[in-house]
């Protein structure tokens, strides 16, 4: 543990010392990930040893077991921070990093210099500092930074090292300690007042509040209905080449007043302006009144259309577009981007900058000229200013790596399908950002006609003609809100004012106003960025955390808050308002930037937050003083209304989950019920639903088959529970096609028959079953499982079909159906099994249904022979099953005696390293 407080820490690296002429230098380059180490090692000579730290090597203790024995008696050890001693942190080496640290320490002894090549942001700077603290090197150390992993960039970084930035380390440590203090002081309040095992966090609580506030808006929202008329008009006479004859228009005016649209209503269903609101009878009368009306063009208005390309990607905009266009979560988007960065395909993906280097601009302009032509190339390069306050954690936007950009069709042969799609997205956005504007003309045509009773009507249609596509040839940005979306090109007939038109169709249309849309991961990231909450490196983890903690769940792509989230947010808003105040949280980010820039010191800042000032309470005082003021019952209750008898109905969060209560009646609330669905009418319906109803008797046991409603949805149960027995009655969830009110005895017995045993795998005699789970139907063999395409397969799937499904690569939920083979190669002469080539998560591979083998560099799927495929599979079988990745030491390794473990041969150092070590004089 460091002996000095963070405001006094920081290592000065240098001056650098070099060996005498003629000595062969050896160097150790330390990066975070093994994938990055592999790529960088390919660019450096054998005099460099490239090794990974596998992420962070030290952190504050996660639990009491992590606290070293020497500190267990200290009262502050629970926090891992000595708040009374200048916030001195207690760092411990992570248990799953100890073997790697041991390996790095042995390598440090064999080299003449060390390059710390961790990422260039605060996290990377902190990892580099922690490595110095645990490795204690006695050789020169250099800080090596780069934002893309190409040979040129790596060699330039080797030639231009810098010192470790102490201020960046201080900022990261301050953020880590503040988050620890926040979580460890506030979370116990939630355990006592809401539910055990909940957590609070500086950014996660604010993100949860944003989602809850949107759901509150939806719950308060009052829908309004309105009607209009849709018409299809025809131009009369000759047409020019390519000119459309007909176009659609909507009723927008009646008797000189505007006809109401959705935007004219407020959240209470009332009109916000002086407009005419048509209902269904009025629209029917107007439709009848328009019979035989002669229509003519009232006016034609045109105005120039011009759109600039969007800026190159930074982290937040990349996550948003990956969600909209590729349907990736924030976490998935960053994982694929990380893989592309480590393989040398793109630049660093955690950035809040939209700047492109001169090299990147030149590469983009070269592609534009060659691929799209000079007409799509602006006279001068485009410059983009970042809209993010204090954007300074990285130097460049996310873009393809290198001095020239590899084309998407070229890299598609080298990457997995999703990686290739992510690369193409980044390539398109980067190239489009340097292209010309999209230019055209927007035309509004207004058509009028008088009804038989003399009422004046006006219909409007809008069309856009793009005369120069510009950046749209390469890329069009997507948006979450349809109101912000650029309309696709739509051409209208060439008409003039006064020109008569025929009406081909006239139809009344009913509409209903919608509540504000729920946040998606993309729109929530955008909102956090607008508020200044969080940083590029934290967005993906925020999305993951609020879902893992049970505060938010996904309904399609929409983020739905749980009732537990309502309780937590209500408690924080009422008793700790500063902690979830958007401006307060954004100021914290500004303060961390100032610490990184040397404007503020970390310890005084932490002291103000935790201990407060004379007239401003700190976190410690707030928690101690306000705990007794919190009314747990009120915090955990959401009033839904009052019954006809005057009895209030509330939704509450209890120890066993959310439930409804009205007087003595109570009922569990399903986990998949969104809060805005809990209307007073729905609550009364649920409370009036009987606890269970008998659908008949089981012919085998004679027991009642009961249909019930539970926390996880409707289910059926065989017999009543026996209070004297620990055994629970058999139960099964209803299928999606079944209803609790209409389920029959045959249907109930059908789902109670699950899981269904299909038989045993002929290869190992292990039982295979089909089952219905929380996330749908699946087939299972031991610990291995695969999702099924539909619920009908639960009762129709055969053993042979199940074996084929289990042979497919495992997919995560939401990835869709497994793809068919890319190519059938032939039958393995040794095993008699068919061999096919497939596209998997990590690239193209060959498989015979049991063994999978990745294609090597130079193998092309189109040219792969049967002999080569058999060779790859044979090598894979000879290598044995892949080692299981997991945390900590395996049971087998742990059980092995220490003496035997010590005898295991160490990995040999590279030859040049060993040769150089032999030349070095012994250390005194």
- Convert 38-50 to b/e letters by CB count within 10 Å (16 or more is b): ebbbebbeebbbb
Place of tokens 């939630």: 190
Beta bridge partners of 29: 50, 115
| Cβ–Cβ under 8 Å, residues 311 and 320 | no
Q: How far is C-alpha 431 from the chain's CA centre?
A: 25
Cα–Cα distance between 843 and 846 in angstroms, integer? 10
In the structure encoding, which two tokens stand for residue 657, read together? 């989950």
In the structure encoding, which two tokens stand for residue 737, read together? 């096609």
- Give the number of other CB atoms < 10 A from CB of residue 853: 20
Helix (H) or strand (E) holding 786: strand 784-787
- Burial zone of 409 (CB within 10 Å; 0-12 exposed, 13-18 middle, 19+ buried): exposed
Cα distances (Å, whole numbers) of residue 127 to 120, 122, 170, 664: 10, 9, 12, 57
Cα–Cα distance between 552 and 563 in angstroms, integer? 9
| Cβ–Cβ under 8 Å, residues 127 and 117 | no
**Taking Cα atoms as reference points, which of 796, 731, 798, 719 lies closest to residue 758?**
798
- Burial zone of 16 (CB within 10 Å; 0-12 exposed, 13-18 middle, 19+ buried): exposed
The 8 Å CB, 24+ separation contacts for 122-125 are 122/168, 122/169, 122/171, 122/172, 122/175, 122/393, 122/537, 122/596, 123/56, 123/172, 123/537, 124/32, 125/164, 125/165, 125/168, 125/169, 125/172
- 3-class DSSP string for 287-303: HHHCCCCCEEEEEEEEE
Paired sense of beta strands 225-235 and 58-59, if any = unpaired
Which DSSP string corresponds to 281-346? HHHHHHHHHTTT--EEEEEEEEEEEEEPPPPPB-HHHHHHHHHHHH---HHHHHHHHHHHHHTTSB
Cα–Cα distance between 693 and 705 in angstroms, integer? 8
- Convert 881-919 to b/e letters by CB count within 10 Å (16 or more is b): eeeeeeeeeeeeeeeeeeeeeeeeeeeebbebbeebeee
The 8 Å CB, 24+ separation contacts for 916-921 are 916/23, 916/24, 916/25, 916/26, 916/47, 916/111, 916/112, 917/26, 917/110, 919/23, 919/24, 920/19, 920/23, 920/112
As a dihedral over the C-alpha atoms of residue 169, residue 175, residue 179, residue 180, rounded to 10 degrees, the angle is 30
- Convert 113-151 to b/e letters by CB count within 10 Å (16 or more is b): bbbbbbbbbbbbbbbbbbbbbbbebebbbbbbbbbbbbe
Q: How far is C-alpha 163 from the chain's CA centre?
A: 34
Number of alpha carbons in the 13 Å side-chain half-sphere of residue 839: 18
- 3-class DSSP string for 418-455: HHHHHHHHHHHHHHHCCCCCEEEEEEEEEEEEECCCCC
Three-state secondary-structure class, residue 155: helix
| Cβ–Cβ under 8 Å, residues 901 and 893 | yes
Active site residue 348: yes
In the structure encoding, which two tokens stand for residue 225, read together? 């209905």
The one catalytic residue in 348, 372, 778, 845 is 348
Catalytic residues: 348
């Amino acid at each position: 543990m460091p002996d000095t407080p963070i405001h006094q820490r920081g290592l000065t690296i240098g001056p650098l010392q070099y060996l005498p002429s003629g000595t062969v230098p050896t160097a150790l380059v330390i990066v975070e990930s093994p994938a990055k180490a592999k790529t960088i090692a390919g660019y450096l000579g054998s005099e460099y040893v490239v090794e990974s730290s596998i992420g962070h090597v030290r952190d504050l203790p996660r639990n009491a077991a992590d606290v070293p024995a020497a500190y267990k008696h200290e009262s502050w050890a629970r926090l891992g921070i000595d708040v009374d001693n200048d916030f001195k942190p207690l760092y411990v080496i992570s248990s799953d990093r100890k073997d790697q640290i041991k390996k790095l320490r042995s390598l440090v002894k064999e080299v003449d210099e060390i390059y710390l090549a961790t990422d260039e942001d605060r996290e990377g700077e902190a990892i580099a500092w922690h490595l110095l603290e645990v490795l204690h090197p006695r050789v020169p150390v250099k800080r090596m930074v780069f934002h893309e992993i190409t040979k040129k960039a790596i060699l330039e970084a080797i030639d231009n090292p810098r010192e470790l930035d102490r201020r960046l380390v201080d900022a990261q440590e301050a953020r880590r300690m503040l988050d620890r203090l926040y979580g460890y002081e506030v979370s116990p309040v939630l355990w006592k007042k809401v539910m055990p095992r909940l957590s609070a966090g500086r950014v996660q609580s604010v993100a949860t509040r944003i989602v809850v506030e949107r759901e509150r808006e939806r719950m308060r929202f009052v829908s309004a209905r309105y009607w209009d008329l849709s018409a299809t008009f025809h131009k009369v006479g000759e047409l020019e080449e390519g000119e459309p004859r007909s176009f659609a228009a909507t009723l927008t005016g009646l008797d000189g007043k505007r006809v109401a649209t959705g935007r004219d209503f407020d959240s209470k269903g009332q009109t916000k302006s002086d407009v005419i609101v048509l209902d269904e009878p009025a629209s029917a009368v107007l439709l009848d009144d328009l019979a035989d009306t002669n229509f003519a063009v009232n006016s034609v208005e045109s105005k120039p259309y011009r759109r600039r390309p969007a800026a190159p990607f930074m982290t937040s905009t990349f996550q948003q577009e990956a969600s909209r266009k590729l349907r990736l979560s924030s976490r998935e988007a960053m994982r694929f981007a990380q893989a592309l960065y480590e393989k040398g395909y793109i630049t660093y993906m955690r950035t809040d900058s939209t700047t492109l280097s001169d090299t990147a601009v030149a590469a983009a302009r070269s592609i534009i000229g060659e691929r799209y032509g000079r007409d799509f190339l602006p006279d001068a390069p485009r410059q983009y200013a970042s809209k993010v306050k204090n954007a300074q954690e990285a130097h460049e936007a996310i873009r393809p790596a290198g001095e020239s950009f590899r084309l998407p069709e070229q890299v598609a042969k080298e990457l997995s399908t999703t990686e290739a799609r992510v690369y193409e997205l980044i390539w398109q956005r980067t190239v489009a950002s340097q292209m010309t504007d999209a230019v055209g003309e927007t035309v509004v045509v207004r058509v009028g006609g008088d009804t038989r009773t003399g009422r004046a009507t006006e219909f409007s249609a809008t069309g856009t003609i793009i005369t120069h596509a510009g950046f749209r040839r390469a890329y069009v940005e997507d948006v979450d809100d349809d109101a912000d979306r650029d309309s696709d090109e739509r051409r209208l007939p060439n008409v003039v004012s006064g020109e008569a038109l025929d009406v081909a169709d006239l139809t009344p249309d009913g509409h209903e106003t919608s509540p504000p849309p729920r946040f998606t991961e993309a729109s929530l990231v955008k909102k956090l960025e607008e508020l200044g909450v969080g940083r590029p490196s934290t967005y993906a983890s925020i999305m993951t955390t609020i879902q893992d903690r049970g505060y938010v769940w996904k309904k399609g792509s929409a983020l739905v808050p749980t009732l537990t989230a309502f309780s937590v947010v209500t408690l924080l808003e009422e008793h700790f308002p500063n902690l979830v105040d958007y401006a307060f949280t954004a100021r914290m980010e500004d303060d961390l930037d100032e610490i990184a820039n040397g404007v503020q010191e970390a310890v005084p800042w932490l002291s103000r937050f935790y201990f407060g000032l004379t007239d401003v309470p700190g976190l410690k005082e707030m928690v101690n003083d306000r705990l007794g003021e919190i009314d747990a019952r009120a915090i955990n209750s959401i009033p839904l209304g009052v019954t006809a008898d005057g009895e209030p109905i509330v939704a509450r969060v209890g120890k066993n989950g959310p439930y409804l209560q009205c007087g003595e009646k109570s009922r569990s609330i399903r986990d998949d019920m969104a809060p805005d669905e809990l209307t007073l009418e729905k609550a009364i319906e649920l409370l009036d639903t009987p606890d269970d109803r008998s659908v008949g008797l089981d012919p085998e046991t004679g027991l009642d088959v009961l249909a019930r409603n539970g926390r996880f949805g409707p289910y059926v149960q065989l017999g009543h529970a026996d209070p004297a027995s620990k055994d629970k009655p058999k139960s099964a969830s209803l299928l999606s096609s079944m209803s609790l009110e209409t389920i029959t005895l045959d249907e109930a017995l059908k789902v109670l028959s699950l899981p269904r045993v299909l038989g045993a795998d002929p290869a190992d005699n292990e039982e295979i079953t089909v089952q219905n789970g929380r996330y749908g139907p699946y087939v299972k063999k031991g610990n291995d499982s695969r999702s099924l395409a539909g619920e009908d397969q639960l009762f129709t799937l055969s053993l042979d079909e199940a074996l084929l499904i289990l042979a497919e690569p495992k997919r995560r939920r939401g990835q869709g159906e497994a793809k068919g083979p890319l190519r059938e190669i032939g039958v393995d002469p040794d095993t008699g099994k068919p061999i096919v080539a497939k596209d998997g998560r990590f690239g193209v591979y060959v498989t015979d249904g049991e063994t999978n083998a990745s294609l090597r560099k130079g193998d092309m799927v189109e040219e792969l022979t049967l002999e080569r495929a058999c060779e790859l599979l044979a090598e894979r079988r000879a290598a044995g099953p892949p080692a299981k990745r997991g945390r900590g030491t395996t049971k087998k390794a742990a059980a092995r005696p220490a003496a035997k473990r010590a005898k295991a041969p160490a990995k040999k150092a590279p030859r040049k390293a060993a040769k150089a070590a032999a030349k070095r004089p012994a250390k005194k």
